Copies of this chain bind each other. A is one copy, B any other.
Amino acid sequence: MKRGTSRDIRTANRYEVLRRIIARSPTSRQELAAATGLSLPTVATLVGELLDLGMLTEVGFEESAGGRPRGLVAVDASGGALIGVDVAETYVRVELFDLALSVLARAEEDVHPGENRPEQVVAHVATAVGSVVARVGVADARVLGTGVSVPGQVDRDRGVCEYAPNWDWHDVPLLDLLALHIAHPLYLDNPLRAGAVAELWFGAARGRGDAVVVNLGTGVGAGLALGGGLHRGVSNSAGEWGHTTLVLDGRPCHCGNRGCVETYVGAPGIMRNLREVSPRSPLLHPEDQTATIDALARGAADADPVALEVVRNTARYLGAGIATLVNLLNPEVVVLGSWVAATLGEPLLHEVREAVGRHALGRPFAATEIVLSPIPNDPVCLGAATFALEGTLRSVGRRAGRRTAPART
């Protein structure tokens, strides 16, 4: 067990209680105690704090079997707004949520090839955030925070994107740049973690002990939800499955290694798979990943033999790479998410399941379900918004200046 300070534990417990209430409102303190393993007095204290913060509201009573009626609490959807930002190589998506994490407004900006300088990306984010806030008419003060996901390795504490391989970013102080345009608190992380948290809260990993959330976009990676929580690793860079070796001495990768999973199953890798099958295929839009993946999806639906072969070849690589995750981590569920997975959908999933079965060991394979993300809209925006919520609860503790808090007993 990792040792945390009392305040860390209190923040984590406060967050866990709020998360349960958001996932299921209304609920009673007794149900929360049973669901979290915390004692009833501890839950009552945490619920009291969240009521004081205006994040929860009392909504009446339920009869309990033979006992006193139990007070019910629910999340107060109007208790604050959260913004989630999904910065990807080809788009910036922004969603504004109420405190129940329902989407109130959404904006999207295309990021054109070559538009990869930090100032350009920051401008897109600022525009889209301004747009959702204006649309909903939320006063800035009501926005508790904005979570920003960028496709790279991030130092959360410093708000720095240390390395974004597809953009060749090194040590970009992204939150400082964004703070010039956005007034409320900002929190940085990446799509692997945002996607995994979204699946844990609202998607296919909900209630599962161990889940792997595979992110298939321009870059690829795997968010790891182990033991019901996010596995970040010692320097918050766990999940770089896209840069694990699938073919020793295989295709060169911009990370400097060769044969990385990403070079076979990221969008540019899939374009290369297409070129290998049919170099002059009309499905190929050389400078446009989105158009190419869209064309492959339409082609597969129309039983175009080239499209089917490319999907099959991609699934073969993907299957071997996912079998590595299955054999190594023995998860209950593997979730395929992000835009490439959403676009290629069922035909890809079907082939992937077969390919994983060929590569994985029997025991872990039998225990693993492989599904497409069931979250409508963009799971990464949702997950990024939860990071803003987590940060808000942390800073609440700080403002209150609590120094002593009961330890776990």
Contact = CB atoms under 8 A, between A and B. Distances in A.
A364 B245 contact: no
Contacts of A257: 323, 358-360
A244 interface: yes
Contact of A238 (B41, B255, B328): B328
A407 B37 CA distance: 6
Interface in A31-46: 33, 35-39, 41-42
B409 A209 contact: no
A247 interface: yes
A3 interface: yes
A209 to B, nearest CB: 6
A1 B246 contact: no
Contacts of A222: 328
Contacts of A240: 327-328, 330, 361, 364
A367 B248 contact: no
A375 to B, nearest CB: 21
A320 B249 CA distance: 10
Interface in A213-251: 222, 224, 226-229, 231-241, 243-248, 250
B245 A1 contact: no
A402 interface: no
A358 B192 CA distance: 24
A399 interface: no
A132 B346 CA distance: 58
A163 to B, nearest CB: 6
B37 A1 contact: yes
Contacts of A237: 327, 330, 361, 363-364, 367
A194 to B, nearest CB: 17
B320 A245 contact: yes
A16 interface: yes
A90 B209 CA distance: 36
B39 A236 contact: no
A253 to B, nearest CB: 10
A282 interface: no
A111 interface: no
Given A4-B37, A163-B362, A226-B226, A244 B323 contact: yes
Given A227-B2, A229-B1, A250-B248, A330 B238 contact: yes
Interface in A117-150: none
Q: Which of A232, A317, A321, A329 has the most CB of B within 10 A?
A: A329
Across chains A and B, which 4 residue pairs bring their CB atoms closest together, nearest first?
A: A233-B330, A39-B409, A244-B324, A238-B330
Given A210-B233, A240-B328, 20 more contacts: A2-B227, A3-B36, A37-B407, A38-B407, A39-B408, A41-B409, A42-B409, A222-B328, A226-B226, A226-B227, A232-B330, A233-B367, A235-B367, A236-B330, A243-B327, A244-B323, A244-B328, A247-B247, A257-B360, A406-B409
Interface of A: 1-4, 9, 16, 33, 35-39, 41-42, 153, 162-163, 209-210, 222, 224, 226-229, 231-241, 243-248, 250, 255, 257, 317, 320-321, 323-325, 327-332, 358-364, 366-368, 406-409
18 contacts: A2-B228, A3-B36, A37-B408, A39-B407, A163-B363, A210-B234, A224-B328, A234-B332, A234-B367, A235-B363, A239-B330, A240-B328, A240-B364, A244-B323, A244-B327, A245-B359, A247-B248, A406-B409
